[in-house]
Amino acid sequence: MHSLFTLTLNLERAGKVICVQSLPFDPARATLLLLSPVGTQCFYMKNAALFLISRFNLIILESDALLAYAAAADLAPDEGVADFIRQFHAALPKAVQVDALVGYCSSAPLALLAASLGACRTLLLLNGAYFLKNDEVSKSQYERDVERMMQSIPQGNCAQVYEAVSLLHANSAYTPSDYRYQQVRPLRELPAFRQYLTFLNSLASLEVARTAQAVQAPTLVWCGSQDRYTDTASSRYIAKWLPHSELVEDPDGQHHDFVDGHTQLYQAMTRFLTHHQQRAVQ
């Protein structure tokens, strides 16, 4: 029986990083590194993790850890992520190698960047929120609203914007023990809100097309037609630039399928990962 446990790693320059891992480790299984969305903690991935650990070794890493390191070291996102990933791999137990990287929602562009730097053998991008600067790509109302909030950082009116949107947190019925509470976690206090928007701006600064073209790993790009948060146009745009991509648009898919326990998505992930793991062995 596999279960989830805390994993504490001491990185050479980034220092202590707390993750979640599945145990016991099975060397015959592929190992997935799952990046939680920006502003959320590992607990947000609980439902997905409980399914995935029945088939794969799993490590969950908070995206904020990578982005905070890059910001503190005053590095560009690509330099900061590359350095963090090198330290992360070096700190893992010798028997553990990351086979696949999983990015969901706002962690998808971070996973894309890490994959372009050779961080994994296989990449999965699920309901990605890329905040593309290309005006020709259609966006959801949610994406446009978040982009307006992101502009408050360079405009210097973050505190005023926070006063307005923090009501969403105040009116939330989710308790801290509910994984869905993570969806409004960045709205709890102004410093967290400012950090959330700063990290999103950092990811939005990526040259997405060039980054995608540099990814050599086979990539599953999954999106749902009923997603009210991220428009499927963004996923189609990303898939167009990836050299080795499989685009799946689920006509019934919604944004939170990955964290809500959507069996069809998990089965597609398993099929894709198993197929490419077998090809790697051959």
Alpha-carbon dihedral of residues 199, 36, 251, 221, nearest 10 degrees?
80
Cβ(35)–Cβ(64) below 8 Å: no
What residues contact residue 275 under an 8 Å CB cut-off, 6+ apart?
A: none
Residue type, 188: R
How far from 263 is each of 80, 183, 270, CA to CA, in Å?
35, 21, 10
Closest CA to 103 of 21, 194, 40: 40
> One of 42, 105, 120, 158 is an active-site residue; which one?
105
Is 105 a residue of the active site?
yes
- The Cα–Cα gap between 232 and 241 comes to 15
Question: Would you name the residues annotated as active-site residues?
Answer: 105
